[in-house]
Structure formats: structure tokens, C-alpha cells
Amino acid sequence: MLGLDIGSTAVKLLELGRVPGGYRVECYGTQPLADHAVVEKNINDVESLGMAIRRLVEDSKPRSRQAAVAMASSAVITKHIAMPAGLNETEMESLLRAESDQYIPYPLEEVALDFEIQGLSKTTEQEVAVLIVACRKENIEKHEAALALGGLQAEVVDVEAHCMQRAVAATSGRIAFARQATNEEPLVIAIVDIGATMTTLSVFTADTPYIREQLFGARQLTEAVQRHYDLSLEDAVLARQEGTLPADYETAVLQPFREAVVQQVNRSLQFFYSTSTCHDVDRIILAGGTASIGGLAAMVSTELGRPCTVANPFVDMALGAGVDIASLTRNAPAMMIACGLALRSFDP
């Protein structure tokens, strides 16, 4: 399957293959989206998105036409519940649907529902722990329709946080969920995905992942450029992309933005600590296109006192013959969700 990450300003495609000892990037690509096609991760213009996907497929030339897509964590309801042990999947699904009003605040006919047995309950062998995930059908149908217009078939609908976790776990052992030698506990990894308009903190522990979204992203930097140099929004975007801003850009605009990012990351982590039994993280990973801003990871590490690296899910992967390594490396921090989706190809 292709991993297809639908963001607010661009859609990203990734196709992976298996090689001895790991994976290979077969093809990848990105395609800008028209303004307001996707707003805060909600599809607003199915037709425009579909045409962008079609252009992306034509340019990238993937072999597969089946795709995995992801829903924003804020659009999904996830709950851990206990259910009687010994039920088969059909019986469990029937029971879940009969009792769905206890867990889901929408009529059952409006909801897509799935579940996974996590293992025996920690309190009794008579029950199993079950993760249920639900989403409004209309959201999934918009994704399916956009992919169909783009010439693809939606094979899997995942959750962005789960994709992030899968991408990190598949990445080099230096940042994956290795056990610390001192106490044999899994590392607590915090991923900060800084998108165009939204920043998402995902913290992965042995318990349920913690997710927090906030309206903050690269758009704030572009708007700061626009205000400071009296440019139109389009000219500000172009000047940032081409690196043609005046010499004072670093100190007058970029440094205050870095400080704002650090403040947002710290604030989100404080919310996490206040709602969790975990009061620290072992490592911070910056993802999203903004993560590559020079000096940002070092500043986060210095200010928050924790190792901070820029995400690169491809660091240990082989590359197909047609893949531009420089382009892939440049875009790697923004490809985490696409990578987590493409890895669904190799689920048992």
C-alpha cells in the first residue's frame, strides 16, 4: 500500500518495499494543495484534493494503487474498555455495537467502528483489555471520495498518532523504543509535529499515547515575515522558499519564532505532565516541515534540558534507483505520518 498523508497545505505520498534487514523507499512525492482544500486537517473541497492526489500519483508513478490514509487524532474517539474473555471477534463486535452508546456520543449508523484486543485484563483473567476506535463516517467517506478521484483506493484508514508511533518504532534503534540499561523501562518519546497551521504533541509511553493539538505552525512564521517586511502572503511564502529575505531575517523574525516554538513545546509538555503519572520525557523528536529550521532542535534541547533530534524515518532505509536522496532528506521530517501509513503494507 501507499502511505498518503493529507495535510493542510500539501499531500504526501510514500511507497516502501522490503529488502533484507529492512525497508526500501521505492518512490515518494509531495503536491501542494489549493487554499482551503483542507482546513485544520478537515477536508473542505473533495474535488480539489482529488485532483491534487491525481497529479501526485502521475508525478510519483507508484506501482500500487491501494492506499492507507490517516485521520487526525482529534477526529477519532479512542477508548480502552474491559470485555468478557473467550468471545470470538464476531461476538465481541456484536456486543460492542449493542453497548456503543456507552462509549460513542453519536448514533451508531453515523459511525465507523473498529477494535483490537490488547491482551488479558490487568485485574482479572475473566476479562480482556480492548481498544475501540470510532470516527464519523462522513469523514472517512470524504477521504475515500478524494482518493477515488485521484485514481487510488482507500484500503486502510488509520490514526495519525498511531502512524507516528509506528514510524518512530521502525526508525533507527538510537531513537526507537529501546530499553534503558539502568531500569529496563521503555523510553518515553515525545514527538512534536509542527505543521502548517497545527502543532501536535504525541507522547508514547507503556500506557495510552497522549495527544495534544494546538493551533500553531509554520503559518505564524510566514505571517511574521509578511508583517515585518510588508509583503503579500504569496510573496512572503516565496521569499521564505527561495531564501531571499533581508539579512536581519534571522534575528528579527526567525529567532522570535524559534522562541515561540520552544514555548509551545514546553506548554504542551506541562499539560502532559499534569495529566499523567509520567513527569518527564527521555527524548524529543521534531517532525513536520518546520522541524528543519536551523538551530531549532538545539534550542529546544537547551531550553528544555532533554535530547532533541529532527525526525528522519528513512535514516536506515535503502533507496530505490529513482529516489532523489537530497530531496528525500530535506522532506524527511514531514514524512513521518506517510511513513507510518506505508508501513501498514507489512502488517502480518
pLDDT per residue as tens digits for the range 7-16: 989 999 999 9
Lay out the sheet containing 111-120: strands in order across. Answer: 76-84, 127-136, 111-120
Residues of the chain with pLDDT under 70: 172-186, 206-208
Give the integer Cα–Cα distance in Å for 330 and 180. Answer: 31
Same domain, 257 and 306: yes
**128 and 226 inside one domain:** no
Q: What is the pLDDT of residue 206?
A: 61
Prediction pTM value: 0.89
Instruction: For residues 81 and 183, state if they share a domain.
Output: no
248 plus 126 within the same structural domain? no
**In a shared domain, residues 192 and 254:** yes
Per-residue cell: 135: 470516527
CATH number assigned to the domain comprising residue 192: 3.30.420.40
Domain count along the chain = 2
Chain length of the chain:
348
Last residue of a domain, one of 88, 117, 136: 136
CB 195 within 8 A of CB 7: yes
Kindly report, residue by residue over 142-192, the tens digit of the pLDDT: 999 999 999 999 999 999 988 998 898 877 444 444 444 444 566 788 999
DSSP labels, 212-254? EEES-SHHHHHHHHHHHHT--HHHHHHHHHHT---TTHIIIII
Q: Which of 283, 300, 284, 289 is nearest to 333 (CA)?
A: 289
Establish if 246 belongs to a structural domain: yes
Three-point CA angle 4, 210, 5, nearest 5°? 5
Q: Which amino acid is at 140?
A: I
| pLDDT per residue as tens digits for the range 295-333 | 999 999 999 999 999 999 998 899 998 899 999 999 999
Which cell numbers in the block locate residue 240?
A: 521564505
Side-chain half-sphere of 240: how many Cα atoms within 13 Å? 22
Q: How far apart are CA 105 and CA 269, in angstroms?
A: 28
Phi/psi at 40 (nearest 5 deg)?
50, 45
Grid coordinates in use for 229? 517586511
- Which structural domain, as residue segments, surrounds residue 228? 174-311
Which helix or strand (DSSP H or E) is residue 195 part of?
A: none
Do 124 and 187 sit in the same domain of this protein? no
Last residue of a domain, one of 90, 118, 136: 136
Same domain assignment for residues 116 and 205: no
Tell whether 116 is covered by a domain: yes
Cα separation, 37 vs 187, in Å, equals: 38
**Residue type present at position 264:** Q
Q: What's the pLDDT score for residue 208?
A: 67
Cell of 270: 506541562
- Gap between the terminal Cα atoms of the chain: 14
Claim to verify: residue 192 and residue 95 sit in the same structural domain: no
**Percentage helix, strand, coil, to 5, in the chain?**
40, 30, 30
Question: Do residues 187 and 86 share a domain?
Answer: no
Rounded distance between C-alpha atoms, residue 200 and residue 21, angstroms: 31
Q: How far is CA 37 from the centre of its chain?
A: 19
**Residue of 3, 1, 7 lying closest to 288 (CA atoms):** 7
3 found inside a domain: no
Residues 198 and 305 in one domain: yes
Q: Is 282 domain-assigned?
A: yes
Are residues 300 and 185 located together in one domain of the fold? yes
What does the DSSP assignment read for 92-137? HHHHHHHTGGGT-SS-GGGEEEEEEEEEE-SS-TTEEEEEEEEEEH
Q: Is 126 within the bounds of a domain? A: yes
CATH number of residue 94's parent domain: 3.30.1490.300
**Co-location of 129 and 189 in the same domain:** no
Residue 206 covered by a domain: yes
Could you say which of 311, 327, 343 is where a domain stops? Answer: 311
In this prediction, residue 175 carries a pLDDT of 46
DSSP state letter for 196? S
302 lies in some domain: yes
Q: Give domain status of residue 227, yes or no.
A: yes
